[in-house]
Amino acid sequence: MRPYSEEVREDDTRAAKETVQARLYPSEDQPFAIDFGGTCPRCDHAISDRKVLVGILGAGRMNARKRRRQLADLKRRGDLSEGDHTFDLICSCTAAHTNRPPEKVGCGARFRVRVQWP
């Protein structure tokens, strides 16, 4: 078991290209979030993270149909995020790692993932 470490390692970013997958949510043509999954490039445990691309005030009170309509309107106006972003991620695994502070999760790995879409 790897001990907890927040040391930034370029090897983790390089390995993340193979171990981390990005999925646009809810679709590629109208994404408002990106779901990251796969395994941590350092400790190889399962990770999961969502990065929001579009914040819609009151979205928590909208049903899926209303959110899709709002996203379509934003796309028509050119207000949706374009498809080339780099995200800083931190291991979010639930496995035990020695030396991990009680308020933290994961192994401490920090890495970048670039996501491109049409």
In this predicted structure, the answer to whether residue 44 has a pLDDT above a threshold of 80 is yes
Please give the average per-residue pLDDT across 27-33, as a whole number.
79
Sheet with 20-25, edge to edge strand ranges: 20-25, 33-39, 46-52
In this predicted structure, the answer to whether residue 75 has a pLDDT above a threshold of 80 is no
Which pLDDT does position 74 carry in this prediction?
Answer: 67
CB crowding 39-73: b at 16 or more within 10 Å, else e: bbbbbebebebebebbeeeeeeeeeeeebeebbee
Token look-up 């994961």 returns 106
Average confidence score pLDDT of the chain: 87
| Cα radius of gyration (the chain) | 17
In this predicted structure, the answer to whether residue 55 has a pLDDT above a threshold of 80 is no
pLDDT band of 54, cuts 50, 70, 90: low
Which pLDDT does position 84 carry in this prediction?
Answer: 87
Of residues 102 and 1, the one with the higher pLDDT is 102
In this predicted structure, the answer to whether residue 109 has a pLDDT above a threshold of 60 is yes
User: Please, what sign has the CA dihedral across residues 45, 100, 97, 107?
Assistant: positive
Which pLDDT does position 43 carry in this prediction?
Answer: 97
* Residue 43: closest CA among 102, 10, 87, 92: 92
Whole-structure pTM value:
0.79
Please give the average per-residue pLDDT across 94-115, as a whole number.
96
